[in-house]
């Protein structure tokens, strides 16, 4: 593949704790992922993204790193990682790894050193600030997982910043040594052969040096949010202009290696699409994704708005679209009321996502039409679910183990008596070995092959058709049109010319396109 292999590519996200357990401890591991890589190659994706596998106390399941250059023993060793990369490359798959650099674990040696005193060699490697005269935190910033974003450090007589858990202190990126430290760590993995990085919370690196208060959200709320973090407009705790210059430094370092790629997670609820464009132009990230298509909104107007909002303001920029990941309710469950059947909705959403202009990320189990797992409070591991239960059930429901063989213990994920999260019958029922001809997985394979063979779908520009809800239609490139009925009720429209290339509950007869419940048609127009 060429140096811009990522443009129009399809990446498959593996959540390592839940993909395949080969050592029988109930937690997935690198050896298990390596054994299952032929499955991904057969599916037809271009790359695999691994959520964090670095050493970590696992307070936030690996998104709290204590050593950026080693593998956590629960997943294996550096040698296991090297074998995974070699096997993936042998199968024609790229390997992308998570980089969580806005913050570390409070057990990282750098933070242990930083919290000792105000004058030590690492004193300003994290964000520390004096209290107000009344002893309260320096400003009103809130943490995403609940409560204030500041925790008292008794030895320094100062507060430290954490946008997430108190055990996830934020690095001080205003310190050039911190920037270089993370660039050097990334180079370590590039030298081991990784093909790119997924950058966690890429807009959180810098904070306002003046520590100004965040404003109230300008979108007035009728009642308090479940999570008060969403009641602020985060003008100063993130999204700072210094971020852009650092990303240029990062891009310049990555560009010293052949055919490598950066994709950023845009953790922003106000101007995410605009910022995606800003972050992927001017020699910064190769691509970026946001949560705009990972929420409850489901309409032709919503999907159209995201794509139309990105490209005009991002000359040379490139998006990455996804419907599910490890942080949100699985989309087949999230949008279930819009589907006549689970399978029908799953297939339609596969066709929709894989026909969008941009790159695409699939989440493990999505290709099975997998649904959200119902868990009890006692089974939760996610701090978000524990803190906000029961109004918000957290992210564990989308992180349960991959189902491989329906009738095997734990559906083939593990031989352990108990797995880190449970395997429910509803999830085992759609295991890989049940996915025969006509299944959701078979459709994903066909649609991935169709996209790979279509210059229009991989790289063609988008021109939307003016159709009424619930119909979404657009042309891609020079000779492809896509029409979707986003409804469990049938619909039809006038259509002149062309032929049906791939579809579901679709018929083209006598200049009339008929779409059944959750029907869609991808048509050749020339």
What integer pLDDT is reported at residue 1 of this predicted model?
Answer: 53
Residue with tokens 């990972």: 294
Neighbours of 343 (CB within 10 A): 18
Which of the four pLDDT bands, split at 50, 70 and 90, describes residue 270? confident
Cα gap 341→504, rounded to integer Å: 13
Tens of pLDDT, residues 277-313: 999 999 999 999 999 999 999 999 999 999 999 998 7
Cα gap 149→169, rounded to integer Å: 9
Three-state secondary-structure class, residue 135: coil
Instruction: Provide the pairing of β-strand 196-199 with 94-99.
Output: parallel
Written as six digits, the tokens of 223 are: 């009642």
Tens of pLDDT, residues 20-74: 999 999 999 999 999 999 999 999 999 999 999 999 999 999 999 999 999 999 9
494 close to 511: Cβ distance less than 8 angstroms: yes
What integer pLDDT is reported at residue 316 of this predicted model?
Answer: 87
Q: Which of 179-183, 265-269, 367-371 has the lowest mean pLDDT?
A: 265-269
What integer pLDDT is reported at residue 277 of this predicted model?
Answer: 95
Q: Which residues contact 419 (CB under 8 A, 6 or more apart)?
A: 21, 26, 27, 401, 410, 413
Instruction: Provide the pairing of β-strand 462-464 with 359-363.
Output: unpaired
- The residues that bridge with 95 in the sheet, in sequence order, are 48
What integer pLDDT is reported at residue 262 of this predicted model?
Answer: 98
Cα gap 210→63, rounded to integer Å: 27
Based on the residue annotation, tell me whether 265 is a catalytic residue of this protein: yes
- What is the value of pTM for the model shown? 0.97
Tens of pLDDT, residues 79-122: 999 999 999 999 999 999 999 999 999 999 999 999 999 999 99
Distance of CA 407 to the CA centre of its chain: 30
DSSP 137-165: -SS--B-TTSSBSEEEETTTTEEEE-SS-
Tens of pLDDT, residues 157-199: 999 999 999 999 999 999 999 999 999 999 999 999 999 999 9
What integer pLDDT is reported at residue 183 of this predicted model?
Answer: 98
Cα gap 278→274, rounded to integer Å: 6
Set 64, 200, 366, 382: catalytic member: 200
Q: Which residues contact 243 (CB under 8 A, 6 or more apart)?
A: 202, 203, 205, 206, 279
What integer pLDDT is reported at residue 313 of this predicted model?
Answer: 79
Which domains, and CATH codes, for the chain? Answer: 10-102+176-451 (3.20.20.80), 462-524 (2.60.40.1180)
Set 29, 106, 214, 265: catalytic member: 265
Based on the residue annotation, tell me whether 4 is a catalytic residue of this protein: no
What integer pLDDT is reported at residue 220 of this predicted model?
Answer: 78
Tens of pLDDT, residues 193-250: 999 999 999 999 999 999 999 999 988 788 888 999 999 999 999 999 999 999 999 9
DSSP 223-260: S--SSGGGGEE-SSSS--THHHHHHHHHHHHHTTSTT-
Three-state secondary-structure class, residue 85: helix
Which of the four pLDDT bands, split at 50, 70 and 90, describes residue 497? confident
Is 80 exceeded by the pLDDT of residue 499? Answer: yes
CA-to-CA separations, 279 to 173, 201, 208, 266, 287, in angstroms, rounded? 17, 12, 18, 9, 8
Cα gap 248→514, rounded to integer Å: 49
Q: Which residues contact 340 (CB under 8 A, 6 or more apart)?
A: 488, 517, 518
pLDDT, the chain, mean: 97
């Amino acid at each position: 593949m060429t140096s811009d292999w990522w443009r129009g590519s399809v990446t498959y996200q593996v959540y390592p704790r839940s993909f395949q357990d080969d050592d029988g401890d109930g937690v997935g591991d690198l050896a298990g992922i390596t054994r299952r890589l032929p499955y991904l190659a057969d599916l037809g994706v271009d790359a695999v993204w691994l959520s964090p596998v670095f050493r970590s106390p696992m307070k936030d399941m690996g998104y709290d790193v204590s050593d950026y250059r080693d593998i956590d023993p629960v997943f294996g060793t550096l040698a296991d990682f090297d074998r995974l990369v070699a096997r993936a490359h042998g199968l024609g798959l790229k390997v992308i790894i998570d980089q969580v650099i806005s913050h570390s674990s409070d057990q990282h040696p750098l933070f242990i050193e930083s919290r000792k005193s105000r004058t030590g060699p690492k004193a300003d490697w994290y964000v520390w600030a004096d209290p107000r005269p009344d002893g309260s935190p320096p400003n009103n910033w809130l943490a995403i997982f609940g409560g204030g974003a500041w925790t008292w450090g008794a030895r320094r007589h100062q507060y430290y910043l954490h946008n997430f858990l108190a055990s996830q202190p934020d690095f001080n990126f205003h310190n050039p040594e911190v920037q270089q430290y993370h660039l050097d760590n990334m180079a370590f993995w590039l030298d081991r052969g990784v093909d790119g990085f997924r950058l966690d919370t890429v807009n959180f690196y810098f904070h306002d040096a003046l520590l100004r208060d965040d404003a109230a959200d300008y979108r007035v709320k009728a009642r308090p949010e479940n999570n008060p973090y969403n009641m602020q407009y985060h003008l100063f705790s993130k999204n700072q202009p210094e971020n852009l210059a650092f990303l240029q430094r990062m891009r310049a370092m990555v560009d010293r290696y052949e055919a490598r790629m950066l994709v950023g997670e845009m953790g922003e609820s106000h101007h995410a699409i605009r910022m995606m464009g800003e972050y992927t132009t001017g020699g910064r990230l190769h691509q970026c994704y946001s949560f705009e298509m990972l929420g409850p909104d489901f309409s032709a107007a919503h999907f159209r708005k995201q794509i139309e909002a990105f490209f005009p303001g991002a000359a040379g920029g490139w998006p990455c679209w996804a419907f599910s990941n490890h942080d949100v309710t699985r989309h087949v469950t999230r949008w279930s009321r819009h589907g006549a059947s689970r399978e029908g909705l799953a297939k339609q959403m596969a066709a929709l996502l894989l026909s969008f202009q941009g790159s695409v990320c699939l989440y493990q189990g999505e290709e099975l039409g997998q649904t959200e797992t119902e868990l009890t409070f006692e089974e939760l591991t996610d701090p978000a679910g524990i803190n906000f239960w029961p109004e918000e059930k957290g992210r564990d429901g989308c992180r349960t183990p991959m189902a491989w063989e329906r009738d095997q213990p734990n559906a083939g994920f593990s031989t352990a008596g108990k797995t880190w999260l449970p395997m429910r019958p509803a999830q085992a029922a759609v295991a890989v070995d049940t996915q025969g001809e006509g299944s959701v997985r078979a459709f994903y394979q066909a649609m991935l092959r169709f996209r790979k063979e279509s210059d229009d779908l991989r790289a063609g520009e988008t021109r939307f058709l003016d159709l009424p809800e619930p119909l979404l239609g657009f042309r891609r490139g020079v000779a492809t049109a896509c029409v979707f009925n986003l409804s469990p009720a049938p619909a039809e429209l006038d259509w002149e010319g062309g032929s049906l290339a791939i579809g579901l509950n679709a018929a083209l007869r006598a200049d009339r396109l008929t779409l059944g419940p959750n029907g869609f048609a991808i048509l050749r127009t020339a």
